[in-house]
Structure 1
Amino acid sequence: MSDPSPHHRQSPLDALGADDPHHDDHGAYPDEYPAEYPDEHHDDEAYEPRRQGGSRRAKKKRKPVGCLLVALVLVVAFAGGLYLGVSWVADRLNGGGEPEDFEGVASVEECATSGEVEITVPPGYVGSDIGRLLVDEGVVASSGAFTSAVGSGSVRDGTRTMCEGMSGAQAAELMTNADYIGGGNGITITAGKTKEQTLALLAEATGVPVEDFTAAAEDPAIGLPEGANGDVEGYLFPDSYDFGPEPTAVSILTQMVERSKEVAAEAGLTDDAVPGYTQHELLTLASIIEKEVLLPDERAAVAEVVYDRLEGACVAEGVPAGMLQMDSTVNYLLGAGTGTPDTTAEDRQIDSPYNTYRYPGLPPGPIASPGRASMEGAVDPTDEGYCFFVASGRDSGESLFAATYQEHLRNVDEYRNG
């Protein structure tokens, strides 16, 4: 499923920086270091990155087979569209211009005059696919009756209990109403949520006490990978779920952790997918990406900024080796309710390994649950020499990336001058 990310907007400097360009969370200090940073933190040895490695990360090369795959997808899409068009016309010819439709049942909650049918919509099914599925199960009279009633409505995958002999409008109501999914326990969790935020949302949606979720988060039965060190932070994958009519906290978190492992494998986020980094470290990196930018196509560029800083490639531009200087990690320490993406000089002095202004390398673990795009960006960074990024100030939410500090300052001016 798509990966929705409605979290914070970037501040003027990089993703979450301070007002002064020399204090931004991705900033550099080419002439002198700011007064609030202790001198011992300016020693090269003090900023030794946690991950050394003898070589830069391997870059993925694009393969010619990609063109063949694109061509194949276009052919399949054309064939599918032609088939759906024929089905649509057939529906209407069959019913004298209007698709055949049942009169409907007396109640969509009960099937007093017809049998119950459990319908499972697989991921990727579109309206016409679902319509044919409903026809095969005797729920609606024709695919056209269903698709006409759905219109532009969104149908999520999942399981519903429906009735034989429903009208297209009744079936569409059930299919587009999330409350009917899994007995009222359907929910969509967006990317960038912390574990505390996620557990609270799950409790509200399902009626299962939040205390049960807190206990379940520490239960080995939920299947966390060994590298997670028993912490669910980052491993509750953001997606749309059907938890069934009588879910438990353990069954819900198990499903979300399993989904996280599935998507990580699909995205190629595995041990040594980037040489020298474990899967847990890559997930941590992906979570930082998730909190730093809004647009999916910028995730790979942010990943490069992180890698270049970790590996000391930005030292010539004034960024101490291994120092990420990301406000997103500091805000994680401050909690989700800070109300602003920015941090203060005092915030940046917090003594914690999650404070990437004070401690080199990645923080100990994820700071939120990353979506698929951030996972993919983490294992396939750009190769442009980027060391900085800043919000563009445009309504599109895009960022401006720079390889040098001087270029970065020009991007900051562009933001400030509109």
Structure 2
Amino acid sequence: MKNNKNKKNTFVLYSLISLITAFAVCALFFFYELSAIDLPENAKEVRFEIPAGISVSEISNSLYEKNLIRSPKAFYLAARFPFLSLRKTSPVIKSGVYSLKTSMNVFEIFTLFESGQQEFIKTVIPEGLTIRKIARILETEGVCSAEDFITAAQNPDLIQKYSIPFETFEGFLFPDTYFFAPSMNAENVLLIMIENFFKKISIIPEFADKSVPDFYEKLILASIVEREYRVADEAPLIASVFTNRINAGAGLYSCATIEYIITEIQGRPHPDVITYDDLKIDSPYNTYKWAALPPGPISNPGLIALKAAANPPETNYFYFTLTDSDAGSHTFSESFNAHIKAGTQFKTKKS
């Protein structure tokens, strides 16, 4: 009887040990399934998108397909049953685009998804670009579609909201380095750039605290100066030349406005040279044919051009011509004869 009892106790003990061992093995295997795939020194970076409304099961399968987790089932169980991953609550996974590494374990992935710290696209918008050129950059970078951005930039309700006295936001998209999220709403992208414009011009007295109609002509002038200057110190002088021509009722004679007509209005490729036929194009933007400023900006200027146009120096210059193509510097002249002479000397020097 005693032997039977001992045998029974031994069986229970062995069963308990076996059960504990089996549980420990399962636990170790489960935690192994939650571990990182690669060591930090071998880690690869992977862009991972979580669309709004996606299920945990779909997320786990997608992570597995991108070789970011060992087991979709283990990820799903850990997310649905927090005690399995030693958590108090299930992770609240936020939609967005994340930068994951193959050296991250499931717990680190949960933490990132809960934080909502998305991957951002560093987008550089240079000075002097048009809306269409900016749109192409945004599409290439994966921020938003070019077509949607152009449509947003012509939204009449938004234009009215900002009291723009024209039909687009040309000139109001401040050139800067931006950090956008992937696949953003195009209108939101536009608004970020517009608000940045108004923030930046607040340091310029001639723009600050003024209504858009009050400074719109200076913005148009700045957009032309932006496309004409190459040396920062010359931007104010170029602005003074155009201001003197405006005051005298003469044409601005800006090749940049002709380029705008060809590329932005007519949709033709950027010309290598401006021809005499180009100078005859019937357009209000043709500053060779019509005096004064064109009806709207021809680019989106930066602070150098904006400051130059806001308060150009008083000079007697009516002309400028490029005389150092390497440095990008110009010679400024008061008379047409001096202007022709400067250009002739430059051509002689080149030849």
Q: TM-score, normalised by structure 2?
A: 0.61
> 1:389 is matched with which residue?
320
Cα distance, 1:271–1:263 mapped onto 2, change above 3 Å:
closer
1:2-401 counterparts in 2 under 5 A?
A: 107=43, 109=45, 183-219=119-155, 220-221=157-158, 225-245=162-182, 247-270=184-207, 278-312=214-248, 321-335=249-263, 338-340=269-271, 342-401=273-332
Deviations 1:103-150 (A, max 9, x none): 97875859xxxxxxxxxxxxxxxxxxxxxxxxxxxxxxxxxxxxxxxx
Give CA-to-partner distance per residue, 1:7-59, whole Å, 9 cap, x none: xxxxxxxxxxxxxxxxxxxxxxxxxxxxxxxxxxxxxxxxxxxxxxxxxxxxx
Structure 1 regions of 5+ residues with no counterpart? 1-102, 111-159, 164-180, 313-320
User: Where in structure 1 do 4 or more consecutive aligned residues deviate above 4 Å?
Assistant: 103-110, 160-163, 221-224
The answer (yes or no) to whether the contact 2:262–2:270 under 8 Å persists in 1 is no
Q: The residue matched to 1:300 in structure 2 has which SS?
A: helix
Shift of 1:162: 10
Task: Report the number of matched residues.
Answer: 241
Greater helix percent: which structure?
A: 2
C-alpha distance in 1 between matches for 2:169 and 2:181: 22
**1:403 equivalent among 334, 337, 341:** 334
CA distance in 1, matches of 2:242, 2:124: 29
Please identify the structure whose Cα radius of gyration is greater: 2
Give the deviation of 1:295 after TM superposition. Answer: 1.3
Rounded to whole Å, the distance in 2 between the matches of 1:368 and 1:269 is 19
8 A Cα contact 2:159 2:169, kept in partner: no
What is the CA–CA distance in structure 2 between the aligned matches of 1:231 and 1:221, rounded to whole Å? 9
Shift of the 256–182 alpha-carbon distance from structure 1 to 2, 3 Å rule, reads farther
Query: Structure 1 CA distance, aligned partners of 2:300 and 2:161?
Result: 14
Question: What displacement does 1:300 show?
Answer: 0.3
SS of the aligned residue for 1:278 comes to helix
Structure 1 residue 246: Cα displacement: 5.1
| Alignment check: 8 A CA contact 2:125 2:175 kept | yes
Query: TM-score normalized by structure 1?
Result: 0.52
Describe the SS at the equivalent of 1:344: coil
- If asked which structure has higher relative contact order (CA below 8 Å, sep 6+), I would say 1
Q: Hey, what's the Cα distance between the residues in 2 that align with 1:194 and 1:252?
A: 15
Bigger mean CA deviation after superposition, 221-230 or 329-338 = 221-230
Find the aligned partners of 1:394 and 1:332 in 2 and give their Cα distance.
Answer: 22
Structure 2, unpaired ranges of 5+: 1-38, 47-97, 102-116
Identity of aligned residues (%): 28
**Which AA in structure 2 matches 1:305?**
V
